[in-house]
Amino acid sequence: MMNETWKVDARDGKLAMAHIYVAFVALALGGLAGLLQVLVRSGKFELPAGISYYTILTTHGVLLGLVLTTFFIIGFQFAAVSRTAGTLSDRVRFWGWVGFWLMTIGTAITAFYILIGEASVLYTFYAPLQAHAGFYIGLTLVVVGSWVSGFAMFAHYAKWKKAHPGQVSPLLTFMSVVNMVLWLVCSLGVAATVLFQLIPWSLGYVDRINVLVSRTLFWYFGHPLVYFWLLPAYMIWYAIIPKIIGGKMFSDSLARMSFILFLIFSIPVGFHHQLVEPGIDPAWKYLQVVLTFMVVIPSLMTAFSMFATFEMYGRSKGATGLFGWLRKLPWGDARFFAPFIGMLFFIPAGAGGLVNASHQLNQVVHNTIWVTGHFHLTLATTVVLTFFGAAYWLIPHLTGRVMTKAMNRLAIIQTIVWSIGMIFMSSAMHFAGLLGAPRRSAFSTYGDAPQALEWIPYQIAQAVGGTILFIGIILVLIIVTNLAFFAPKGETEFPVAEVAEQAERTPLVFENWKLWIGIAVVLILIAYTVPFIDMIQNAPPGSKGFKLW
């Protein structure tokens, strides 16, 4: 089934690469926006020509949080399903391209309205700040495009299942399907607020909007969104990294179980982003806090699995002692090194996440720059370094090239530069946040308040870290451009791990979609029905739109 000579078909490769190009263009532009932000916030620099800090901030969030991630993930997953479940049919590929163009056109429309200053509402676009309708319509196209691609993947999976009755599907295909199911179920929330509330309101068809309902629908989507980013990184860790180091996967069934747990527990948790807001009874908040913490379990399983794989491999190479196996790992291989560093950063990132989601502790850090520091560890380090590490074999595989030793060395340096930059920036953000420095704010001394003056050294450290990170972005863009256009021609492997001999056969129950989606829906209904009815029954008068930038 997992024939090593299998390659991603050239036509499927084109589809995947189209997504990857958009992702890295977004990285370049969004990274530049990030650099400008840290410089402004150091207090030593002002944006020229009256450009608003908040326009730049909106650009940064939309391009890196939404565009880079969604495009890379969908491109990677198309390649992964083509590699493991066979070449896409012409029809599936056609719909993949439809999805791609919908997302790309949507991104262009949204970017246009942001850049002309009609949509400085940040990537969370909380009403009653009201952007131009084009901003919301563009975002709708991005989401609809991703749905089209998701259904294309489902169709491909269904075809495989039909051709292989009673067999367990290839792991990477299974994981891609889980991630797209998760995405589909959660993006219904943001689609509902955008289609039924924000677009009619921004076009003037309705006068007023229910702000709390809109926020709740947004956060029903907003937290599973981060798992939609994280799961592809987990795919790479579980199913690809073991092959890169030359070892075997610890257990196929535990990998599937952890993905199913993510599917079940990552959606009914949005209230932990709304812990300090009015209009929601604290008992319901607490229930969602409990559900939030359940995703710790699959993450613990993943950590165990990864380090078990590493240790088993090291010992098979003759390592002795408690930690001798660490020395056997391929530290000089960027395809391993970048994701591994990403894994290490996930330890403090996860711990910080526990603080954020803790019913009462959240109040200390809510909307402070601590939170920004947190997701620059999770998304901008763990996930992004893993994606970079994947790009180092995926791009040459798809373009028929090989990564040279020099580029591999540059990729190792890139990872180190990224880590150093992030340690400066993210630590400074965490510390300043504990002192109260807010997120999403231009430079301000708040009337020379002594407390605000204390934050400035941390803001300078953020600028230092951010500048180092920008150098990291330049390096990765050099590598990616080389791999896409200039690296020597040749064959690069798309690594897919095999399961260790001692692992058990995988049961078919993990593909009982009715069961798992059913459980997910029941949990969503339990967590949301009563508070949602409360919000609507006790709704205050709605809000008119405001354009305050």
Partner 1 sequence: MHMHKYEKIWLFFGIGSLFVFLAVLGVGAFAQGTQPPSCLTTIDPEKVDQTPPFDKPGLVKTGDNEYQLNIVASAFAYTPNQVEIPKGAKVTINVATKDVIHGFEMAGTNVNMMVEPGYVSSYTQTFDKVGEYVILCNEYCGAGHHLMTAKVKVVEQ
Tell me the three state secondary structure of residue 439: coil
Q: Is 481 in the site for partner 1 (CB under 8 A)?
A: no
Closest separation in Å from C-beta 255 to partner 1: 12
Quote the CA–CA distance of 402 and 491 in Å, as a whole number. 6
Q: Per-residue DSSP letters for 462-520?
A: HHHHHHHHHHHHHHHHHHHHIIIIISPB-------PPBPTTSPPPPGGGG-HHHHHHHH
Q: Does 549 bind partner 1 (CB under 8 A)?
A: yes
Pattern of binders to partner 1 over 20-59, x per CB under 8 A? --------------------------------x-x--x--
Count of positions (residues) in the chain: 549
| Residues 491-520 within binding reach of partner 1 (CB under 8 A) | 504, 507
Distance of closest approach, residue 155 Cβ to partner 1, in angstroms: 30
Give me the least distance between CB of 439 and partner 1, in Å please. Answer: 7
Q: Build a one-symbol-per-residue string for 339-358: x at contacts with partner 1 by CB under 8 A, - elsewhere.
A: ---------------x---x
Structure tokens at 453: 């003056």
What is the rounded distance in angstroms from the CA atom of residue 26 to the CA atom of residue 80? 22
Instruction: Region of 122 please: left (phi>0), alpha (psi -120 to 50) or beta.
Output: left
Closer to partner 1 by Cβ: residue 54 or 95? 54
- Give the closest residue to 516 by CA, choosing from 174, 127, 188: 174
Please state the closest distance from residue 7 (CB atom) to partner 1, in A.
Answer: 33
- Give the nearer residue to partner 1 in terms of CB position, either 87 or 193: 193
Residue 155 lies near partner 1 (rule: CB under 8 A): no
Q: Residue 288 to residues 109, 194, 223: CA-CA distances in angstroms?
A: 35, 24, 12
Handedness of CA 536, 541, 542, 547 (dihedral sign): negative
Which of 82/274 has CB closer to partner 1?
274
CB of 60 to partner 1, least distance (A): 13
Minimum gap (Å) between residue 549 Cβ and partner 1: 4
Half-sphere exposure of 162 (CA within 13 A, CB side): 6
Task: Give the range of 88-96, 240-248, 273-281, 342-350 binding partner 1 by CB under 8 A.
Answer: 273-281
> Of the two residues 144 and 371, which places its CB atom closer to partner 1 in the complex?
371
Residue 438: strand, helix, or coil: strand
Q: Which of 226, 296 has the CB closer to partner 1?
A: 296
Q: Which is nearer to partner 1, 55 or 146 (by Cβ)?
A: 55
User: Site for partner 1 (CB under 8 A): which residue of 59, 274, 288, 381?
Assistant: 274
Which range of residues in 227-235, 322-330, 394-402, 535-543 is near partner 1 by CB under 8 A?
535-543
Binding string to partner 1 for residues 434 to 453, with x set by CB under 8 A, is what?
Answer: -xxxxxxxxxx-xx-xxxx-
| Least distance to partner 1, CB of residue 529, Å | 18
Size of the site for partner 1 (CB under 8 A): 73
Contacts of 222-225 spanning 24+ positions with Cβ under 8 A: 222/124, 222/190, 222/270, 222/273, 223/266, 223/267, 223/269, 223/270, 223/272, 223/273, 223/292, 224/182, 224/183, 224/185, 224/186, 224/266, 224/267, 224/269, 225/186
18-26, 170-178, 488-496, 534-542 -> range binding partner 1 (CB under 8 A):
534-542
Which phi and psi angles does 438 have, rounded to 5°?
Answer: -80, 155
- Applying CB under 8 A, the span of 95-103, 155-163, 272-280, 410-418 interacting with partner 1 comes to 272-280
Pick 256 or 335: Cβ nearer partner 1: 256
What's the closest the beta carbon of residue 463 comes to partner 1, in angstroms?
16
Site residues (CB under 8 A) for partner 1, limited to 453-472: none
Which of 9, 29, 97, 128 is close enough to bind partner 1 by CB under 8 A? 128
Q: Counting Cβ atoms within 10 Å, is residue 314 exposed (0-12), middle (13-18) or buried (19+)?
A: buried
Place of tokens 């339990």: 526
194, amino acid identity: V
Nearer to partner 1, 73 or 280 (CB): 280
Residues marked active site are found at 223, 227, 374-376, 439-440
Using CB under 8 A, which of 29, 47, 129, 521 touches partner 1?
Answer: 129
Which residues are within 8 A (CB) of 285 and not within 5 positions of it... i.e. 6 or more apart? Answer: 271, 272, 274, 275, 359
Q: What does the buried/exposed string (b/e) look like for 266-288 if buried means 16 or more CB atoms within 10 Å of the residue's CB?
A: bbbbbbbbbbeeebbeeebbebb
* C-alpha–C-alpha distance, residues 431 and 428, integer Å: 5
Closest to partner 1 by CB, 362 vs 415, is: 362
H, E, C per residue of 252-280? HHHHHHHHHHHHHHCCCCHHHHCCCCCCC
Tokens 């001999």, located at residue: 501
Interaction mask 371-410, partner 1, x per CB under 8 A: ----------------------------------------
Alpha carbons 296 and 276: distance in angstroms, whole number? 22
Per-residue interface string for the shown chain with partner 1, residues 282-311, x marking contact by CB under 8 A? xx-xx--xx--x--xx--xx--x---x---
Phi, psi for 73 (deg, rounded to 5): -65, -45
Judged by CB under 8 A, the chain residues 191 through 250 that form the site for partner 1 are 211-212, 215
Select 148 or 456, whichever has its Cβ closest to partner 1.
456
Closer CB to partner 1, 219 or 387, in the complex: 219
Least distance between partner 1 and beta carbon 222 (Å): 14
CA-CA distances (angstroms) from residue 161 to 88, 169, 482? 14, 7, 38
For the segment 108-127, give every residue that binds partner 1 (CB under 8 A): 120, 122, 126
Torsion angle defined by CA atoms of residues 383, 97, 255 and 168, in that order, rounded to the nearest 10 degrees: -170
